[in-house]
Structure 1
């Protein structure tokens, strides 16, 4: 009783069909399927090569951009725009550094969608200056404020990285 049930199950699964063919027929089927897989693999490899070239091109353009020095006047103007009343970074105190980071991140969130990669370079320079001042006075900052500043620093890094990934993705997709 159990054998006919097993045979019908195997037949339904298509596992008995190989019993109805010769080894040569099965070999031909395997060769055809192998050719299909090879073709798919070649297409995928070609797409990966193209994507790799585009990513490398994006990377080299980014390196060239990063080698170009930032204009101090433009950097100062962006610093004034992003920090408002806290633009004098070296004068920030333990009481004013946290509001400066809040102001900075509010402006970054508001403007980030319109920024080019070069704009992000300038914003990163302002962020570095803020971070340097933070490190210089960190021991005098309240724990709650320090924790909030760390969260804002992390958010900035995440937004910047998100933009880099987005731009890389676009560069890989475009011809």
Structure 2
């Protein structure tokens, strides 16, 4: 029985032997430890409430941004910048779709660090258009090229999601 009491006391943060204290003293130590744990839990809950409000605000701002239509001229410029000679997405063939994806991802990798969330919105629209064209001609694309395209699609999604997570993390950390 003594070993059980010695085991329980360190959990309360004290290194006293059970035989060196009275039950009333142990009861008081447990109450103090419970108050300390309540305080820690209350602080953690407050931090979570604040982080939740900030995350909700970020989500609200993000939704409002995505509801705003993209400027067609800016989208065309962005398409030309990211795709170069492959900018006419609807004219891509089974032979040119893979190089278009490669060009797109090279530009995304090169420019992504200075992009705003709105820039990512434009890149996402371009990616969706490329993906739609890919689906339209997929049955005529060589297996090797299709595999490479799928890897590039996955990379784009990972980069975009990483940016969203980074921005959300920064929004949660920012003071009100």
Please state whether the residue corresponding to 2:70 is helix, strand or coil: coil
Once the two structures are TM-superposed, the CA of residue 113 in structure 1 deviates from its matched residue by 0.2
2: CA distance between counterparts of 1:74 and 1:161? 23
Q: Does 1:148 align with 2:139?
A: no
Counterpart position of 1:33:
33
Count of residue pairs the alignment pairs up: 167
What do the CA deviations read for 1:69-102 (whole angstroms, capped 9, x no partner)? Answer: 1111111110000000000000000000000000
2: CA distance between counterparts of 1:28 and 1:15? 15
2: CA distance between counterparts of 1:101 and 1:120? 16
State the TM-score, normalizing by the size of structure 2: 0.91
1: CA distance between counterparts of 2:125 and 2:26? 66
Cα distance, 1:15–1:174 mapped onto 2, change above 3 Å = closer
Structure 1: which 4+ aligned runs deviate by more than 4 Å?
13-16
Please say which structure displays the higher CA radius of gyration: 1
2: CA distance between counterparts of 1:169 and 1:112? 18
Please state whether the residue corresponding to 2:95 is helix, strand or coil: coil
Once the two structures are TM-superposed, the CA of residue 15 in structure 1 deviates from its matched residue by 7.6
Q: Does 1:166 align with 2:170?
A: no
2: CA distance between counterparts of 1:99 and 1:15? 68
Counterpart position of 2:47:
47
Matches within 5 A, 1:106-125: 106-125=106-125
Once the two structures are TM-superposed, the CA of residue 20 in structure 1 deviates from its matched residue by 2.3
Cα distance, 1:93–1:31 mapped onto 2, change above 3 Å = same
Runs of 5+ unmatched residues, structure 2: none
Please state whether the residue corresponding to 2:48 is helix, strand or coil: helix
The Cα RMSD (Å) is 1.8
Runs of 5+ unmatched residues, structure 1: 1-5
1: CA distance between counterparts of 2:53 and 2:15? 44
Q: Does 1:92 align with 2:92?
A: yes
2: CA distance between counterparts of 1:31 and 1:108? 58
Matches within 5 A, 1:12-23: 17-23=17-23
Cα distance, 1:140–1:130 mapped onto 2, change above 3 Å = same
